[in-house]
Amino acid sequence: MTATALSIRDLRFAYPGASWSLAVPRFEIAPGEQVLLVGGSGRGKSTLLQVVAGLRDATGAVEVAGYRIDELRGAARDEARGRSIGMIFQTFNLLHGFTALENVLAGLMFSAIAPKEHEARARGLLQTLGIPDPEAEVDRLSVGQQQRVAVARALAARPALVLADEPTASLDPENTATAMDLIQSACRADGAALLCTSHDPTLRARFARVESIDPFLAGGAA
């Protein structure tokens, strides 16, 4: 097991022409640790997660489960992301017109899990997370069921780190609690570290470690 699920050193990122930048001298998450990253809307939380996932390039070192994401390019970066990082989006980003099972199988494309085990892994996760019919098209599922499929897909490859970007921003308080229970318990069960962003102050009590994005901002709001 690696010493950290996520290690950031001397990271800097700025959009061209922007009056602000991200500057992260050091940030680490231990294996299995759950961290809440807070800050107002539009203050760079999502940007930081995108850099960690290798969806945006920055200077500095970003290491996830032994992979130097910042040093990889193209297919190599995609493969490392697929093996080590799970992602949960506010809008789920499911493949419309595909079944719940097919969506989770998509999360296994770059995994280290043997292909012959993919279907059993996907079906097992969906069953555990309360999806009774894996053959149902995701468009026919409720919002809550779609989120469960999104969580299953994020955990399918047994990632070291799950990134959850404002996963409850569009939910009411009751559904927020249900969704966070699901995400946190699923990560614990699979041994995945969790980095969750939110501007909702009610989530603070759920996390032993809460970090603000503000110390990582230079030059104003993002």
85-99 confidence digits (pLDDT tens): 999 988 889 999 999
Q: Which domain holds residue 103?
A: 6-218
Give the number of domains in the chain: 1
**1 inside domain:** no
- 22: tokens are 């991200």
Residue 222 confidence class, pLDDT cut points 50, 70, 90: very low
Instruction: Provide the percentage of residues in the chain whose pLDDT is more than 90.
Output: 80
**17 inside domain:** yes
What pLDDT score was predicted for residue 90? Answer: 84
What lies within 8 Å, CB to CB, of 164 at 6+ separation is 87, 88, 154, 183, 194, 195, 196, 197
Domain containing residue 118: CATH number = 3.40.50.300
Which has the minimum average pLDDT: 124-128, 159-163, 197-201? 197-201
**19 inside domain:** yes
Residue 1 has pLDDT above 60, yes or no: no
Helix (H) / strand (E) element for 22: namely: strand 21-29
